[in-house]
Amino acid sequence: QVQLVESGGGLVQAGGSLRLSCAASGRTFSSYTMAWFRRAPGKEREFVAAFTWSSGNTYYSDSVKGRFTISRDNAKNTVYLQMNSLKPEDTAAYYCHTGLSAAAVVRGRGAFWGQGTQVTVSS
Stretch 58-69: mean pLDDT, rounded?
A: 97
Angle at 94 between CA 88 and CA 95, to 5 degrees: 165
77: confidence class by pLDDT, cuts 50, 70, 90:
confident
User: Backbone dihedral region of 9: left (phi > 0), alpha (psi from -120 to 50 degrees) or beta?
Assistant: beta
Return the pLDDT at 28. Answer: 65
Mean pLDDT of 110-119: 96
For position 30, what pLDDT does the model report? 66
The pLDDT, as a whole number, for residue 15 is: 98
For 34-58, how does the pLDDT look when each residue is reduced to its tens digit (9 = 90+)? 999 999 999 999 999 998 877 788 9
Instruction: Give the per-residue pLDDT at 1.
Output: 76
Q: Provide φ and ψ at 36, rounded to 5°.
A: -115, 135
Contacts of 83 (CB under 8 A, 6+ apart): 17, 18, 19, 20, 64, 67, 68, 90, 119
Q: What is the DSSP secondary structure assignment for residue 27, as one 8-state letter?
A: S
At residue 76, φ and ψ (nearest 5 deg) are -100, 0
Predicted local confidence at residue 44, as pLDDT: 96
